[in-house]
């Protein structure tokens, strides 16, 4: 069981900044995120896009913003449960919560802050007949253990970075890798595209473009795929042990919707007059996942919400303690790792 | 500048005739959201960067639209339910010559 003061669901910019504000109050945080890396949408969808409305940054790439936030919170030693989705929540008699992920990891905290953005990212599944029947019987949307594909015939679909990168990676493991894409062009990083081109020339990757997988065949497990070439050729039937469609991820609110929280327009209603608490005391919602009159889904608004949430969380965790907010220019930043950042002392010296 | 009229068929098949301003730097995806013709969180997920295809629509009138950008083309190559007349709503900016435009929202995926 992972123990922490504030359990943050969602490791996007809002969730990450909450770690900083909590740290100033000497509260420890742990974050859960369905993605394999922190940063949320900023890392997953648009790391290379510039953002122009972060106060104090005339221009910053989304990926850089995430790197900066990770640096800013480093001293507060946040814990991470990545690649797992928060599934269930249970309120104990003492008012604290246990949140369990889809892989069974349990987290215990007096305060839960949902910073889940538009939801957890789920793989987008192609529209194929009997797709479900072959899931875990040859069809997979995520590659957890590449060794599963050793000496197997693997077909990958998609035209982005993950399709390219996994084709490259599996070229050395699988007996055959076939990459199927609807266009001749790929939109991944240039060097990945080049690498695939050279592996194709070496005969290590078969490229079928422009084409699309239109059917799955096999008695109980996947045995072959039907592939349609777009320029009027006859369909190809290709023997395959595994099919990995990589068409990106789309966010779904998911299990959080069943936690008894008041939901409106796919977002969680909160008290914006006070502390961004939900209808369940002790559960807060901050950033894009919440809604209230006048809500704007902006990173900068998420930062503000995270800050007020932490003040309220402090009072909930320490109801008897007196506290006044301290400026970082005055109090500095005292990390849990023993580091201390503070303003240099002014030199007082007479001029004679 | 004035408003233009646009016919939007939502994902349930209901036709809405709406006024879209041409002086607000709005795109079709934003028009759909402003009239709440698709639930929040199911359209415009990436905010309008041609990076998610949640605003895919079919253009059913023969208006002259701007050419597909490389980004939009690449995104549509990975979207589902794509047809010859598929476009991303976020890449269609509201201009006066689009008066009378008829579009249909593609299914959510």
The chain B residue lying nearest A127, using CA atoms, is B80
Establish if A99 belongs to a structural domain: yes
* Domain count of the fold of chain A: 2
Q: Are residues A116 and A259 in the same domain?
A: yes
Does A288 show up as a binding residue in the annotation?
yes
Establish if A346 belongs to a structural domain: no
* CB-based contact A159 B80, cutoff 8 Å: no
* CB-based contact B78 A160, cutoff 8 Å: yes
Cβ-proximal residues to A197 (8 Å cutoff; 6+ apart), any chain:
none
The rounded distance, in Å, linking the Cα atoms of A309 and A324 is: 15
A290-324 pLDDT per residue, tens: 999 999 999 999 999 999 999 999 999 999 998 88
Per mean pLDDT, which of A42-51, A88-97, B38-47, B72-81 is the most reliable? A88-97
**Is B14's Cβ below 8 Å from some Cβ in A?**
no
Q: Are residues A90 and A173 in the same domain?
A: no
Question: φ, ψ for residue A172 (rounded to 5)?
Answer: -90, -10
**A chain contacts of residue B51, beta-carbon cutoff 8 Å:** 45-46
Once rounded to an integer, what is the mean pLDDT over residues A99-126?
A: 95
Query: In terms of CATH architecture, what is B4-105?
Result: Roll (3.10)
**What is the torsion angle, in degrees rounded to the nearest 10, for the CA atoms of residue B53, residue B55, residue B60 and residue B64?**
-80
Q: Number of CB pairs < 8 Å for A and B?
A: 58
**Strands of the sheet with B56-59, listed across from one edge:** B15-20, B4-9, B101-105, B56-59, B86-88
Structure tokens at A67: 């790197």
Does A86 show up as a binding residue in the annotation?
yes
A195-224 pLDDT per residue, tens: 999 999 999 999 999 999 999 999 999 999
The chain A residue lying nearest B36, using CA atoms, is A265
- How many C-beta neighbours within 10 Å does residue A46 have? 18
pTM beyond 0.90, yes or no: no
Cβ-proximal residues to A145 (8 Å cutoff; 6+ apart), any chain:
none
Closest CA to B51 of A38, A63, A115, A44: A44
Q: Structural domain of residue A6, as residue ranges?
A: 2-121+250-341
Please say if the pLDDT value at position B31 is more than 90.
yes
Domain boundary among A247, A268, A292: A247
A133-187 pLDDT per residue, tens: 999 899 999 888 899 999 999 999 999 888 999 999 999 999 999 999 998 888 8
* CB-based contact A265 B74, cutoff 8 Å: no
Q: Are residues A15 and A65 in the same domain?
A: yes
The predicted structure's pLDDT at residue B1: 61
Domain boundary among A247, A273, A296: A247
Q: Are residues A158 and A144 in the same domain?
A: yes
Q: A308 in helix, strand or coil?
A: helix
CATH number at residue A157: 3.50.50.60
Q: Are residues A151 and A233 in the same domain?
A: yes
Q: Are residues A275 and A331 in the same domain?
A: yes
Domain boundary among A222, A247, A272: A247
CA distance to partner chain B, nearest, from residue A158 (Å): 6
Establish if A350 belongs to a structural domain: no
Does A33 show up as a binding residue in the annotation?
yes
Q: Enumerate the domain spans of chain B.
A: 4-105
Does A14 show up as a binding residue in the annotation?
yes
B5-20 pLDDT per residue, tens: 999 999 999 999 999 9
**Is B97's Cβ below 8 Å from some Cβ in A?**
no
Q: Are residues A117 and A262 in the same domain?
A: yes
């Amino acid at each position: 069981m992972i123990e922490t003061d504030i359990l943050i669901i969602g490791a996007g910019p809002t969730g990450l900044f909450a770690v900083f504000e909590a740290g100033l109050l000497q509260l420890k945080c742990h974050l859960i995120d369905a993605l394999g890396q922190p940063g949320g949408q900023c890392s997953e969808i648009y790391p290379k896009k510039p953002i122009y409305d972060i106060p104090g940054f005339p221009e910053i790439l989304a990926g850089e913003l995430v790197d900066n936030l990770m640096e800013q919170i480093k001293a507060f030693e946040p814990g991470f449960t990545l690649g797992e989705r928060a599934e269930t929540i249970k309120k104990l008699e003492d008012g604290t919560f246990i949140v369990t992920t889809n892989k069974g990891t349990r987290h215990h905290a007096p305060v839960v802050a949902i910073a889940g953005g538009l939801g957890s990212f789920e793989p987008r599944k192609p529209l194929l007949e009997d797709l479900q029947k072959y899931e875990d019987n040859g069809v997979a949307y995520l590659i957890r253990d590449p060794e599963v594909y050793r000496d197997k015939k693997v077909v990958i679909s998609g035209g982005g970075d993950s399709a390219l990168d996994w084709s490259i990676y599996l070229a050395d493991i699988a007996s055959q890798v076939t990459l199927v894409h609807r266009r001749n062009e790929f939109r991944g990083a240039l060097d990945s595209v080049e690498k695939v081109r050279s592996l194709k020339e070496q005969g290590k990757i078969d490229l079928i473009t422009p084409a699309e997988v239109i059917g799955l065949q096999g008695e109980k497990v996947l045995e072959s795929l039907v592939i349609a070439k777009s320029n009027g050729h006859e369909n190809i039937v290709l023997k395959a042990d595994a099919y990995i469609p990589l068409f990106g991820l789309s966010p779904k609110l998911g299990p959080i919707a069943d936690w008894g929280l008041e939901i409106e327009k796919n977002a969680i209603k909160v008290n914006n007059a006070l502390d961004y608490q939900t209808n369940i005391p002790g559960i807060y919602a901050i950033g894009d996942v919440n809604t209230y009159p006048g809500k704007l889904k902006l990173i900068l608004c998420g930062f503000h919400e995270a800050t007020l949430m932490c003040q309220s969380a402090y009072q909930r965790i320490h109801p008897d303690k007196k506290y006044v907010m301290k400026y970082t220019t005055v109090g500095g930043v005292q990390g849990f790792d023993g580091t201390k950042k503070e303003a240099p002392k002014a030199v007082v010296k007479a001029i004679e | 500048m004035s408003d233009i009229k646009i016919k939007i068929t939502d994902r349930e098949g209901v036709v809405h005739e709406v006024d879209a301003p041409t002086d607000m730097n709005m795109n079709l995806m934003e028009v759909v959201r402003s009239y709440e013709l698709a639930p929040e969180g199911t359209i415009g997920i990436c905010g309008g960067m041609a990076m998610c295809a949640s605003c895919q629509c079919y253009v059913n009138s023969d208006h002259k639209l701007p050419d597909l950008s490389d980004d939009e083309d690449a995104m549509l190559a990975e979207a589902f339910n794509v047809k010859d007349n598929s476009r991303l709503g976020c890449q269609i900016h509201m201009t006066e010559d689009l008066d009378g435009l008829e579009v249909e929202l593609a299914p959510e995926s």
